[in-house]
Amino acid sequence: MDEVHERGMDSDLLNLLIKKLMQNSKSSTKLVIMSATLQAHLFGQYFTPEDEMVRDTIFVGARRYPVEVYFLDEWKNFSSSFKSDASLNRLCKQFEMSCQGSDENSKNKMRPEITTDSQKLIIKLLTEIVKPKICILIFLPGIGEIASLQEELEKFASFLCPLQILVLHSLVSREEQEAAMHPAMTGHCKLILSTNIAESSITIPDVLYVIDSGLHR
């Protein structure tokens, strides 16, 4: 099993079924669990029978890069232009209310969609970070939000350089997916608008910035 760190109801149910299968199987079934950010001991304990020792972890050395993370309420620290941004303040308040009303039926619960404030903030952030020869990956909850943001970006001209906009979702062709792997066009900033397909199904080698809406369906 690959990408086991991507926990969810479906994946946890699959883990349970595999565990039961291995417990009841008389064959020499072997299970290999893989992830770039694996909690090895946690999964090792879960799948190992009580009367056996947890297997050793096999670590494949990989080059890692330093990563800086800015959550929404920390954007003011990223750039002074966000210090008094009304859209940012409204969106932070919306997230705060959503967390307080975490019940499924709560009227404060955030819907998995990109609001006007979200679009404004994404575009404003892009004006700060867009430059030639780099790649920026933006995670959005669905195809509709991708199309909407793409339309707004194509109307917006105040970037340091032209944008090469690519989209990734379950309906794009293999050729379009492969285009996302290629370097940016000369003098352009490569901007990829994607659903969570780019979290597990595709590896894009030249991403410098990731903007994650934190929403998915």
Residue 179 belongs to some domain of the structure:
yes
How many domains is the chain built from? 2
Backbone φ, ψ for residue 153 (5° rounding) = -65, -35
Are the C-beta atoms of 139 and 194 separated by less than 8 Å? yes
Give the chain's mean pLDDT. 81
* Nearest of 161, 68, 75, 80 to residue 118 by alpha carbon: 75
- Residue 110's pLDDT band (cuts 50, 70, 90): low
Q: Looking at the structure, do residues 90 and 38 belong to the same domain, yes or no? A: no
Residue 107 belongs to some domain of the structure:
no
The secondary structure element, H or E, covering residue 90 is helix 86-100
Q: Looking at the structure, do residues 118 and 204 belong to the same domain, yes or no? A: yes
CA dist 217 and 202 (Å) reads: 19
Q: Looking at the structure, do residues 122 and 22 belong to the same domain, yes or no? A: no
Q: What is the mean pLDDT of the segment spanning 169-187?
A: 87
Q: Looking at the structure, do residues 32 and 138 belong to the same domain, yes or no? A: no
Q: Looking at the structure, do residues 21 and 80 belong to the same domain, yes or no? A: no
Q: Looking at the structure, do residues 35 and 137 belong to the same domain, yes or no? A: no
Residue 196 belongs to some domain of the structure:
yes
Residue 59 belongs to some domain of the structure:
no
Residue 68's SS3 state is coil
Q: What percent of the chain has pLDDT over 90?
A: 20
- pTM of the full structure: 0.69
* Nearest of 164, 200, 212, 210 to residue 185 by alpha carbon: 164
- Residue 150's pLDDT band (cuts 50, 70, 90): very high
Q: Which domain range does residue 90 map to?
A: 75-98+113-212
Does position 100 have pLDDT exceeding 70, yes or no?
no
Does position 183 have pLDDT exceeding 70, yes or no?
yes
CA dist 194 and 138 (Å) reads: 6
Q: Looking at the structure, do residues 22 and 84 belong to the same domain, yes or no? A: no
